[in-house]
Structure 1
């Protein structure tokens, strides 16, 4: 009868690599629990050495590619498992991890003697783009859904250890099908968001940072070193928004329905400075609005507007006496004091 996996006992292991390998081995078994994943998230977030060790384990496993199914490699693994001695509870995952290590090392040697390099077990990456004012949705094979907002480009790929999305620009909403063996990872400007089963949005702020909005579930956000600060990592809770800029991040509660109203084709403002509202409206239309004065730019506005219907937004500003529209054309308009 197999013994229970003891996440706390892993803290007794001196080497982060051994701990990472033990977690990796356990997560590829059917015995991993929600508590095990939570313990891993805390371990991963606590130290940069832990994150580097985990990244190395993932990289080595993915690099092993198809040789994991080679009969000689499987024989090495079976011998390693058969010859291990009984140990304390926390030693068992390490023994399995050592077997995985034997597979990796044997696999690397095997690769070097092949005439052609092995093909990684990874689906071909697919790139999706939307133009100004466009939105698109697609469903992955595992049931996860990605909804892409205006002016966005992202690349999606999948290996046997994780599902990956790299955002090049724009914004997307992710509804992730739960699969503990294959975390869902989104990367934007060096920031990575890791989830198992959850719903969240990621927005690339155009070279000015990244914003992550969590609707439900839980995600881990890893941020790169910047402005003399070391890499940072944190866990995000539902109805919270993380903004990362210039090596610093902040977390604040957020109205997710309002923030993600673009999914229903709407843009919602609640006492939003006019300059910020105009910048958001401009994302959805080739007609660029300009605010003429600083005092007008600071004026707050509230309301719901149809994304891409710039004329309706301008009419509302004039009707409410907030601003007057001048020099309007198909490509631009200027807002001045009423």
Structure 2
């Protein structure tokens, strides 16, 4: 004998992770009704912890495909919103493992939590969507249908996609700025390596250079999830004017001059008592003409100033005028900086 699905009883389960797992199992079954999907919508939108729990269950189910991308569920949800009549039922049986997953979650929520957090986001090849890429010295922008804008910086690539439950961007390499339209029901998630950045309505940049990940927040709030010891994820909430770095397993957070860090969006690079070696590395990201420091003793000399992107001549002349460095030789492909 079957029993009607009781959303209120389901949401009394002792953890959001267990509730998410049970919803996941039920919504993939032929027993789900339009009312069940509307109940899920309400639960999902109610609390950030619910959305995080659902994302964990999705990741835990990666081997069998994401529920958010299941065309049966997408079509069923759309039908539920546009019709009061029951939608046709799909007769595909629920996989046995899904039933086991839901049962384990209800009986032992902590066990389900470990399963969800131990799994990593999908491999980059699994994301299909729109690609935004820029070559050296270039920038490119993409306007999403919800009003969000993704701007990629020099030598960068981002892939964006959207599902029923969230908006997703994957930063493969380089740097991008995200202006996110507010939508509490569809969080905006940026995946970069094993790090994820989640925002509801905000503006922030994410950089991935040689595996060193940097997040800078201009406005709003974002949650950054990074892998920790024993595969346990660590979450950090950033406030405006703060930035986070994650490199070689080391996490650091600090107050930052985000306006200066984002000057590239106005075609400028801005330095404030920045070591010459660091400034040169940043300049080199935007030009085919490599600047090389050949005198190690000048690498740590500090420089300040703003410089137009792509015009290295002004940068080099400023170094010589300030007595910081001397251009020893120059070709179209390489400039060598030596001690004055």
TM-score range, shorter chain: 0.7 to 0.9
Structure 2 residue 145 is the aligned partner of structure 1 residue 149: no
Q: 1:190 to 1:32 in 2, by over 3 A?
A: closer
Q: 1:162 to 1:17 in 2, by over 3 A?
A: same
Which residue in 1 is equivalent to 2:286?
A: 284
From 42, 60, 63, give the equivalent of 1:29: 42
From 329, 332, 338, give the equivalent of 1:330: 332
Which residue in 2 is equivalent to 1:181?
A: 185
RMSD, aligned α-carbons: 3.7
How do 1:54-65 residues align onto structure 2 when only pairs under 5 Å count? 55-56=59-60, 60-65=66-71
Query: Unpaired runs of 5+ in structure 2?
Result: 1-6, 25-36, 97-126
Which residue in 1 is equivalent to 2:220?
A: 217
1 CA distance for matches of 2:15 and 2:199?
A: 27
Which residue in 1 is equivalent to 2:165?
A: 161
TM-score by length of 1: 0.73
2 CA distance for matches of 1:111 and 1:20?
A: 14
1 CA distance for matches of 2:91 and 2:290?
A: 56
Query: Unpaired runs of 5+ in structure 1?
Result: 82-102, 113-122
2 CA distance for matches of 1:270 and 1:166?
A: 30
Deviation at 1:337, TM superposition (A): 0.8
From 143, 163, 181, give the equivalent of 1:139: 143
How do 1:1-338 residues align onto structure 2 when only pairs under 5 Å count? 13=14, 16-18=17-19, 28-29=41-42, 32=45, 36-37=47-48, 44=52, 52-53=56-57, 55-56=59-60, 60-67=66-73, 69=75, 108-109=92-93, 125-207=129-211, 209-225=212-228, 230-338=232-340
2 CA distance for matches of 1:63 and 1:222?
A: 23
2 CA distance for matches of 1:30 and 1:17?
A: 13
TM-score by length of 2: 0.72
Deviations 1:166-224 (Å, cap 9, x if unpaired)?
111100000000111211111111211111111000000222x2101111111111113
- Aligned pairs, number: 284
C-alpha contact (below 8 Å) 2:132/2:141 kept by paired residues: no
